[in-house]
Structure 1
Amino acid sequence: MKHRTAKFSIGQVVKHRIYPFRGVIFDVDPVFSNTEEWWQSIPEDRRPAKDQPFYHLYAENAESEYVAYVSEQNLVLDTSGEPVRHPEVDEVFVRDGEGAYKARQGHAN
């Protein structure tokens, strides 16, 4: 598999292209690094290629907060400027005056 440079970085707020959720990136895999079972559970017509970066997000939707694992092809930058309410965000990141998330000391990824 050919590795690509990640388009997004840790601390950026992104949203899913199709599904109504958004989140803060807290880790990046250069290529797919989850289980085959997880990958197969995605409907075939929406299943992403494995040879692209995959992102771990502290995610939220209208109902809940959770951790998501999302392919780069399914993410876009969230430009809303709204804070992410996931409870782990404040443990790992500090939000600066411009709305960007920076890793807290001791939480470098």
Structure 2
Amino acid sequence: MTDLHRLTPVRTAKYHIGQVVRHRIFPFRGVIFDVDPEFGNTEEWYASIPEEIRPRRDQPFYHLFAENDESEYVAYVSEQNLLVDDNPAPIRHPQVEEVFVR
């Protein structure tokens, strides 16, 4: 008899490294450069999110080279808050060219 029933199910990320996505609520977009299979940031970071919009921890979280109308930055976003971005404009974050080939 095996312990297959005891194995944790493998979560598959919906989005992939290099994909351009946008936030479902907030006005920013970015390119994914890393994925955590579940929440992997600090408790302080998690607690800083207002409880009414705080995402579940048990889902993939994505590291993005992000941009909005005013600046470029690194964002950490739950899968439930991302959508595919159909905007053909390239992401202008300065680190994109250090990691990706256009």
TM-score (norm 1): 0.84
Query: Which one-letter code corresponds to 1:6 in the other structure?
Result: A
Secondary structure of the corresponding residue to residue 101 of structure 2 = strand
Does the C-alpha gap of structure 1 residues 70 and 91 become closer, same or farther in structure 2, counting only changes over 3 Å?
Answer: same
Q: 1:36, 1:3 → 2: CA distance?
A: 24
Partner of 2:28: 21
Match of 1:75 among 67, 79, 82: 82
- CA RMSD in angstroms comes to 1.2
What is the CA distance between 1:23 and its match in structure 2? 0.3
Match of 1:57 among 59, 64, 67: 64
- Would you say the 8 A contact 1:54–1:71 is kept in 2? yes
Gaps of 5+ in 2: 1-7
What is the CA distance between 1:4 and its match in structure 2? 1.9
Partner of 2:91: 84
Gaps of 5+ in 1: 96-109
Structure of higher CA gyration radius: 2
- Would you say the 8 A contact 1:3–1:51 is kept in 2? no
Query: Which one-letter code corresponds to 1:31 in the other structure?
Result: E
TM-score (norm 2): 0.90
Q: 1:70, 1:36 → 2: CA distance?
A: 15
Matching of residues 40-55 of structure 1 within 5 Å: 40-55=47-62
Partner of 2:46: 39
CA deviation digits over 1:46-81, x for unaligned, max 9?
Answer: 000000000000000000000000000000000111
Name the % identity.
Answer: 73
